[in-house]
Each structure stands twice: as structure tokens, then as C-alpha cells.
Amino acid sequence: MKKIINMPENVVDEMINGLALAYPQYVERIEGFDVIKRTDKKVGKVALISGGGSGHEPSHAGFVGEGMLDAAVCGAVFTSPTPDQVFEAIKAVQTEEGVLLIIKNYTGDVMNFEMAMEMAEAEGIKCDKVVIADDVAVMNSTWTIGRRGIAGAVLLHKIVGAAAESGKSLEEVKAIAEKVIANVRTMGIALTPCIVPEAGKPSFTLEDDEMEVGLGIHGEPGVSRMKIMPADEIIETLLDKVLADNPLAQGDEAVVLVNGLGGTPLMELFIANRKVNEMLTSKGVKIYNTIVGEFMTSIEMAGLSVSILKLDGELKALFSAKADTPAYKAFG
């Protein structure tokens, strides 16, 4: 295992400290907890909290800041944060308008965030939640009942963040979040495994000429293992499944997210995006915005995912709203 770390058991703690030191104008760490929150707490708005296991950077802490999240809870690598960590985040950023928890659909995440919400409600804090399950690859997986939540969560953070920043009520913000969840779909492939630092070995094996189609962001099995194909055929495989699940008609507008999993060169992501653009425009779909880069990674895994968000006027306006966070630049 070759990694630029110290002790494997300290990677999350040291990563959080390094992030806070790099971007003090945006974020700070809650002392004693694995939580990153906005440096300038904004009152008069619904507070947004997301998070999950570490290893997906820049998600989720990189999206804490103006117009997106108010706090992110960082669990151990590929492990849900504990309820006490989530509860501490809720207490730190709560406002009179309430707190919305944005949860990716993994059994541990849902359970622990819900427990934290119950703890907060017992103390009189107004809370609600949404659960994103945008992965069209598999209906149930190793760690989920139902579909997994993956890179589409980044688009959810952006739009819901804008809704909250504009002063909408908790009920309104949740309704917008549910609209995004209903209209975003994602699917990905992996070319290589990743190595969880404390495990010290690859999470699975692939032959040099193989790829895993529909792999989860924690290395969970996908729908099939196939011989590696040219980029265009990979994108056709992914996009056909995405569009079959959430069809787009001629004249529809969409946001495209081509997301690297941590070990994929931008060169390859741009090649993939070329085919995504070609396929959508051939169907008469208007691409409102394209985002290419690493946003929801799997440590150093080579591979990518493609997310398509169908827009209406409300979602388009919110997506276009100002945001300023450490990892936001590619949205500008």
C-alpha cells in the first residue's frame, strides 16, 4: 500500500484538520468532533447538513459554505458517522427556521442520521430529512435497501443550498430537495479498486482488461463485470440506463455531471463528456450546464459516473444562484 499518510487510524482526523487550515475563510472544525461547519454561521435560513463516510472527498466537507451546506459530518473511511457526531453538527448550525438533513441511501447513514434527528427533536430543535437514491445500477446492494445515493447528491446540495440561502421555509426547502431527488439519476463504472487505509489491501480485484459496471462508491458490486470497452461504448452503456429510468424529451433541459472516482485523469473525463454531450444533443436535449471533475470519489479508484438532472424553471434558477465553497469552483 502506497499512500501519503501517517497512521491509518488518524487519516480522518488529520484530513479534517488540514482542510480547516487550508480554507479558514470558509470552514472550521468543531473541536472534538469530526464535523466541518461554516465559519460564518448564517441565521434566518434553514441549516443544511450532509455527510457520510470519508474517502469521497471533496464530498461532503468541500461543499460547506455560502449557498450550499452549513455543516458536513465526516465518518471513518467508508463508514457512517455516529449519531453523536451528527447531533453535534445539528446543535452547531441550528436556526429558528430548522435543520434539513441530506442523507445518501445507505443503511448506516439513514439509521444514524435519523437517530441524531430524534435526539435533536427531543431538545426542541426543528428537523427534517431527505434521502437521495440516484444510482440506477442496482435496486438493492450490499449496504442498502433500495438504490444507493451517489454523485447526484452534489447537485442536490447545490440546488437545496440555494433554496435555503434564499430564505425559503423548511417545508419549501424539503419539497425542492424531493423534486431534485425525483429528477436526478446516476450510474458509474470502475476500472480499478481502491485501498481503505486501515485495510491496507484492495477492496476487490479486477483483471487488467476488466471493468465493473454499476459499482458502488464503497466498492460494492455492480450489475456486471465486463471486458473494458472504448469510452464511447462505456458512456452508451451508462447513459442508456440512466435515460431509460428518467427519460428526457426533445426540448428538455438538463445539467450533466461527469464525475471522476479519484484516479481518473481529466483527459478521460473530458473524452467521456464528449460522448454524453453527443448523445443528449442528438435527442434534442438542451444541456444547461456541464460539470466535469472529481466531486464524489472513492479514494483512488479509477472510474467515473455520469449524473443527469432534468431541470424545470425553478431548479434552473436555483442551480444558477451564487455559491462559494472550497470545492465549488467547477460550478461557476
Provide mean pLDDT across the span 50-73. 98
State whether 211 and 227 are in the same domain: yes
The per-residue pLDDT of the chain, averaged, comes to 96
Handedness of CA 208, 212, 217, 220 (dihedral sign): negative
- Residue ending a domain, choose from 131, 165, 183: 183
**Same domain for 292 and 199:** yes
Q: Are 27 and 113 in a shared domain?
A: yes
Q: Which residues sit opposite 53 in a β-bridge?
A: 75
Of 160, 183, 206, the domain-final residue:
183
Question: Do the strands 184-190 and 286-293 form a parallel or antiparallel pair, or are they unpaired?
Answer: unpaired
Query: Is 68 within 8 Å of 3 (Cβ atoms)?
Result: no
Judge whether 30 lies within some domain: yes
Q: At 222, which CATH number? A: 3.30.1180.20
Whether 152 maps to a domain, the answer reads yes
Mean local confidence (pLDDT), 55-75: 98
Reported confidence tier of residue 330, pLDDT bands at 50, 70, 90: low
- The sign of the CA dihedral 248, 253, 255, 258 is positive
Strands 99-104 and 253-260: unpaired
Provide the annotated active-site residues. 56, 218
Average pLDDT over residues 11-30: 98
Domain end point (choices 183, 213, 232): 183
Looking at residue 143, its pLDDT comes to 65
Identify whether residues 62 and 155 lie together within a single domain.
Answer: yes
55 within some domain: yes
Domain hosting residue 326, numbered range: 185-331
Question: Do 155 and 19 sit in the same domain of this protein?
Answer: yes
2 found inside a domain: no
Stated pTM of the model: 0.96
Is 33 domain-assigned?
A: yes
How many domains does the chain fold into?
A: 2
CATH code at position 33: 3.40.50.10440
